[in-house]
């Protein structure tokens, strides 16, 4: 296992380098960026020090260098947690993303837990009560969840919350805690505001997972070993938990790899709609204004999460799934 | 009967290369930058690769000998299990691909308060698995269905405990 981990970790290095290189290159492809917009503004307004200001800006953002030189500076800076300056805010990227990444992680992890818990309960119930009212209701909820865009659900909940309950569900904390140091009250406020985004972002994932778990569990429950166990008088719960459920759970583990980036990219629009102070709206704005350093840093984080998630899911799968070799070919 | 096995040299050299590359990638940047969250993560990964290198060296120096009396791992972290003391036998197969290819086998033998773990990168792993299975059947050790099926994949029949007893 240690050899496998070492192999995978080594592969992660060139993978991340290639991803970051591609991301950086693609972001710089269109002509101009938010610095050139500032330079144009300075030049058009004129003034005695216009040329000097432009030169300073060019040096500050390394515009006098080629894109790959700028990439090398940004990538080597990443090792010291220095991702350069954000040209739209004129602040270091590391300062801008700090709290937002923490809040994003809290929201995404809560969403993943929500997806797992809800889909596990409903999926198992639907499979063990096939073609009964509960199964139809679960399937209906699943299809509605799959078919409803997250941002639409967010808009509906915003309206319902304001219109019928008189509460604003926007934001990730009460306004008085914004830009305040961390306290228990602030955490409590975040937890309260977390419910709506988690439900909104998690709905589509939950729906997909319910369908998958139900289908897998139904496949397992129809196998001969289950019939044999039933014929031998095994208690239904033991018969369900011992093997079929274990096998049907594999997709849960396998999904860790892509559920992380999926949830993060899926939450961008929802975060904009719900005014959440997460990375989503900032990434969108960075891409719109071609803030290369900021956008590349966010996308690098998504890439890191993806490769780490995939590694974790592969390791868990290898460890949890009692595999049987079907044919020759063990690795030397 | 006397089977002597060592870990395959090409696989060991490849592992040394991996360990070296991993340590270099993780540790070299630490020489040029001050401590921060990224360097802490890199240092942790560097330690992991270092441990991998140490384990590879231990395997390089290890020789597995199985005879009529038992099985011995000679070298660092070695040990001996007499077949008479064998109490547990497990043959697991780890595959991270859905088609179950490209995986590796891992055999665990316990007895007399010792545990030996061998994997399929051993040159002649099938031979040692055969010897271990023979000892397990003789001692009437019950194994899991997965272990039995994995022995079958190596063309080694491991009957269920009742049949072994019969």
Helix (H, G, I), strand (E, B) or coil at B6: strand
**What tens digit of pLDDT does each residue of B82-98 get?**
888 888 888 888 876 66
Helix (H, G, I), strand (E, B) or coil at B123: coil
The Cα–Cα gap between B6 and A199 comes to 55
Q: How many CA atoms lie within 13 A of A237 on its CB side?
A: 0
Q: What pLDDT was estimated at residue A32?
A: 74
**Spatial contact of B105 and B125, defined as CB atoms under 8 Å apart:** yes
Q: What percentage of residues in chain B have a pLDDT greater than 90?
A: 5
Which residue carries 């966010």 as its tokens?
A298
Q: What pLDDT was estimated at residue A329?
A: 43
CATH topology of domain A93-320: MetI-like fold (1.10.3720)
pTM above 0.80, yes or no: no
pLDDT band at A328, cuts 50/70/90?
very low
Mean pLDDT of chain A: 79
Q: Among partner residues B25, B36, B104, which is closest to A13 by beta-carbon distance?
A: B25
Give the mean model confidence (pLDDT) for residues A207-219: 84
Q: A10: nearest CA in chain B?
A: B22
Looking at the DSSP bridge assignments, the partners of residue A85 are A92
Which residues of B fall below an 8 Å CB-CB distance to A? 8, 10-11, 15, 18-19, 21-22, 25, 29, 33-34, 36-39, 42, 45, 48-49, 51-52, 55, 92-96, 100-106, 120-121, 123, 125, 144, 146, 149-150, 153
Question: Nearest 5°: CA angle at B133, between A325 and B125?
Answer: 60
Give the mean model confidence (pLDDT) for residues A290-316: 81
Ranges assigned E (strand) in chain A? 85-86, 91-92
Closest to A205 (Cα-Cα) out of A111, A274, A138, A127? A111
Low-confidence ranges of chain B (pLDDT < 70): 1, 96-102, 161-166
Give the mean model confidence (pLDDT) for residues A257-278: 75
Helix axes A150-164, A184-221, angle to 10 degrees: 130
Category of B112 on φ-ψ map: left (φ > 0), alpha (ψ -120 to 50) or beta: left
Helix (H, G, I), strand (E, B) or coil at B158: coil
Domains of chain A: which residue ranges? Answer: 93-320
Q: What pLDDT was estimated at residue B166?
A: 40
Of the ranges A8-17, A128-137, A250-259, which one carries the lowest mean pLDDT score? A250-259
Q: What percentage of residues in chain A have a pLDDT greater than 90?
A: 0
For residues A247-268, one letter each, b for 16 or more C-beta atoms within 10 angstroms of the residue's C-beta and e for the rest, the string is ebbbbbbbbbbebbbbbbebbb
Q: What percentage of residues in chain A have a pLDDT greater than 70?
A: 90
Is the confidence metric ipTM above 0.85 for this complex? no
**What tens digit of pLDDT does each residue of A114-148 get?**
888 888 888 888 888 888 888 888 888 878 877 88
User: Across the interface, do A10 and B51 touch by the CB < 8 Å criterion?
Assistant: no
* Residue A75, burial from CB neighbour count under 10 angstroms (0-12, 13-18, 19+): middle
The Cα–Cα gap between B75 and B97 comes to 33
What six digits make up the tokens of A285?
């704005």
Q: What pLDDT was estimated at residue A257?
A: 65
Give the mean model confidence (pLDDT) for residues A1-30: 83
Q: What pLDDT was estimated at residue A325?
A: 52
Collect all residues of chain A within an 8 Å Cβ-Cβ radius of residue B93: 323-325, 330
């Amino acid at each position: 296992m240690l050899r496998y981990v070492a192999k995978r970790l080594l592969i992660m290095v060139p993978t991340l380098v290639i991803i970051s290189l591609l991301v950086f290159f693609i972001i710089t492809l269109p002509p101009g960026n938010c610095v050139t917009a500032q330079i144009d503004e300075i030049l058009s307004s004129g003034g005695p020090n216009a040329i000097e200001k432009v030169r300073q800006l060019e040096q500050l953002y390394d515009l006098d260098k080629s894109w790959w030189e700028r990439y090398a500076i940004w990538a080597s800076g990443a090792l010291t947690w220095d991702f350069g300056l954000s040209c739209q805010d004129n602040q270091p990227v590391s300062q801008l993303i700090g709290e937002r990444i923490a809040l994003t992680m809290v929201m995404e992890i809560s969403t993943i837990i929500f997806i797992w818990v809800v889909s596990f309960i409903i999926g198992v119930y639907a499979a063990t009560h096939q073609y009964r009212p509960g199964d139809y209701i679960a399937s209906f909820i699943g299809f509605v969840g799959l078919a409803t865009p997250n941002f639409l659900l967010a808009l509906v909940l915003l309206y319902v919350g304001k219109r019928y309950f008189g509460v604003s569900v926007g934001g990730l904390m009460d306004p008085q805690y914004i830009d305040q140091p961390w306290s228990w009250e602030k955490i409590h406020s975040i937890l309260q505001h977390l419910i709506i985004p988690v439900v909104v972002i998690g709905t589509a994932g939950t729906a997909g997972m319910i369908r998958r778990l139900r289908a897998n569990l139904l496949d397992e429950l129809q196998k001969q070993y289950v019939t044999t166990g039933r014929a031998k008088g095994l208690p239904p719960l033991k018969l369900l938990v011992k093997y079929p459920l274990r096998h049907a759970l594999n997709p849960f583990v396998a999904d860790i790899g892509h559920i992380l980036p999926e949830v993060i990219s899926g939450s961008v629009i929802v975060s904009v709609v719900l005014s959440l102070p997460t990375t989503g709206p900032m990434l969108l704005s960075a891409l719109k204004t071609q803030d290369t350093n900021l956008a590349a840093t966010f996308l690098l984080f998504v890439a890191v999460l993806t490769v780490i998630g995939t590694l974790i899911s592969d390791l868990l799968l290898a460890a949890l799934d009692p595999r049987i070799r079907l044919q020759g070919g063990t690795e030397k | 009967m006397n089977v002597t096995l060592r870990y395959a040299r090409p696989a060991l050299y490849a592992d040394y290369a991996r360990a070296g590359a991993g340590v270099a990638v993780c540790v070299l940047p630490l020489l040029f930058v001050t401590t921060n969250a990224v360097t802490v993560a890199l240092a942790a990964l560097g330690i992991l690769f270092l441990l991998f290198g140490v384990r590879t060296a231990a395997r390089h120096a290890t020789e597995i000998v199985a005879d009529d009396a038992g099985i011995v791992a000679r070298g660092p972290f070695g040990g001996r299990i007499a077949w008479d003391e064998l109490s547990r036998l497990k043959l697991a197969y780890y595959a991270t691909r859905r088609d179950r290819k490209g995986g590796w086998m891992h055999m665990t033998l316990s007895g007399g308060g010792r545990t030996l773990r061998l994997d399929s990168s051993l040159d002649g792993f099938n031979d040692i698995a055969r010897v271990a299975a023979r000892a397990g059947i003789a001692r009437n050790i019950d194994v899991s269905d997965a272990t039995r099926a994995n022995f079958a994949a190596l063309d080694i029949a491991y009957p269920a405990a009742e049949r072994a007893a019969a």
